[in-house]
Structure 1
């Protein structure tokens, strides 16, 4: 890396322009919180400087210190040459409009389950009381913590097989001040949990072998444990479907995400009454199952 950008680019506006130019001249893949060059540049530059993403025009012509300019030059270079996603470069990702700590121990939050949570899981839970929630394969904890903030009287368990991931989830529990209601548990699917839940939210690994072989370089910085799920992408989903009924209250619901493995799931379980949820903010492959339907499915499978 040359020192030229640090010498010539003095203001935030300069650095936003420079980042856009660098990003546009390389074949980058977006999808870790942004979907275009400008938003990617804004996210990297402003959050590297601990500035707000909105209402920031007052800062655009502020001059930066040499240390700040060197930090930006290094991070832009790493984004371009090493294809490191911006959330890993700054240690922060946003989900449901709130920040979460992230690093390469966890997937970068981007689940469309956030849209459902923002709507209080309506109409899916109706008027039922939601007292216990389980977030399976939690990673950073963003889904379960988001659920705790929406259902502000519910107890929420976050589970993951990875202790590394749970370390980040615990940081985020503290960040959002929900230590009294949200608990991180090491568990391989349901092995470490007890009792029943009104809602189970599952964002398990679901990338099939073909897609894993073709994923862009940016996604290879994420832990493969959180992505790869066998030849058809359903290795973990199968376990969830066969065990979930025993962990749901009567009338409880399982809401899960399988992304591109939606077709494989329908083909593997043609008799399962899956409700595929339409999403207004993008994304696909989110399904819902009622406790009764899951129980009947398990009984018929025996």
Structure 2
């Protein structure tokens, strides 16, 4: 029987710096109002001026925001912050800071490139943030935007009403379909006593993951392996398996926006119903979980298909600040004999 867990409707975990982070209220409100009005010959001096101008250009060009930012103001603030070498949390407090000419030219070039190529902004600057941490990204990997990062913060330990596991007790973690390695890195930080195995079928993706692991100083705790799901970790068992696998169904694949077509197709395509890989993960997870372990998996809009395929599964659906029923948890005991 499926059930949903939420604290007061949704998790209260901080979203500062996450891959889906909204811009702070004041900059968003001011820039949004100015962007709608527009200006034919804007005088660009401060960070606020550039955010306003960039948001206006993006809005008028009808670009799609699906890669960690949710609207033109958020994306404009992200790009301006990168040009100014500011963390996303620093953009709003520095809104009145004057932008040097070189940084201004960089911002304007990125905006025009974003519009002309429809490449995600993260690819233009080779950076994306999750849970406040920066990660290198390029066209070899999907732009990271998983809800699992928030759940690692909000549902493991602490005073949470729903504590899945005490983080101190986790010693072995597996991240399937690691892509850029962001979730493996977040898991290593969340579980200080754990070593993390991170696998992916794509050698290109693992090259990006290796760079991120190295830049975060976690080479001694994260091991990368190439292979098809569990094939890369035969015989190993884990306290926690996490995965944000491809889960876009056939209808979704047919309607992907131009921005998403720049990303690796294999990172999206989940088959007709979107659950081809999710099925394989569920069917084999039990043999790779230690007693008391569990599987944490993101499935997008595929909840109905999962519940139809596994009507007896005791799935716990976890809400986050910006999602409802897109991530499930099931423990090792619940996986016993569950193969569809």
So what's the TM-score if we normalise by structure 1?
Answer: 0.91
Cα separation, 1, equivalents of 2:328 and 2:257 = 26
Cα separation, 2, equivalents of 1:54 and 1:127 = 27
The match for 1:184 among 213, 219, 224 is 224
Conserved? CA contact 1:132–1:156, under 8 Å: yes
**Partner of residue 174, structure 1:** 214
Q: Find the residue that maps to 2:337 and give its secondary structure.
A: helix
Cα separation, 1, equivalents of 2:164 and 2:128 = 27
Conserved? CA contact 1:204–1:236, under 8 Å: yes
Higher relative contact order (CA 8 A, sep 6+): 2
* Partner deviation per Cα, 1:217-241 (whole Å, 9 max, x = no partner): 2211111111001111111111111
Q: Are residues 1:62 and 2:98 paired?
A: yes
Q: Are residues 1:259 and 2:300 paired?
A: yes
Q: Are residues 1:43 and 2:78 paired?
A: yes
**Partner of residue 118, structure 2:** 83
**Partner of residue 274, structure 1:** 315
The match for 1:229 among 267, 270, 278 is 270
**Partner of residue 201, structure 2:** 161
Cα separation, 2, equivalents of 1:94 and 1:142 = 9
Give the drift of 1:58: 4.3
Cα separation, 1, equivalents of 2:238 and 2:260 = 32
Give the drift of 1:44: 0.7
**Partner of residue 20, structure 1:** 55
Quote the RMSD (CA, aligned, Å). Answer: 2.1
* Partner deviation per Cα, 1:62-101 (whole Å, 9 max, x = no partner): 2423x43332222101222222111111110011111111
Moved more, 289-298 or 239-248: 289-298
Instruction: Provide the aligned length of Structure 1 versus Structure 2.
Output: 294
**Partner of residue 69, structure 2:** 34
1:13–1:277 distance in 2 versus 1, CA, 3 Å: closer
Cα separation, 1, equivalents of 2:97 and 2:313 = 58
Conserved? CA contact 1:6–1:73, under 8 Å: no
Moved more, 215-224 or 254-263: 215-224
Q: How does 1:101-250 map to 2 (within 5 A)?
A: 101-119=136-154, 121-122=156-157, 123-126=163-166, 129-194=169-234, 195-250=236-291
Conserved? CA contact 1:205–1:228, under 8 Å: yes
Cα separation, 2, equivalents of 1:127 and 1:106 = 28
Q: Are residues 1:96 and 2:137 paired?
A: no
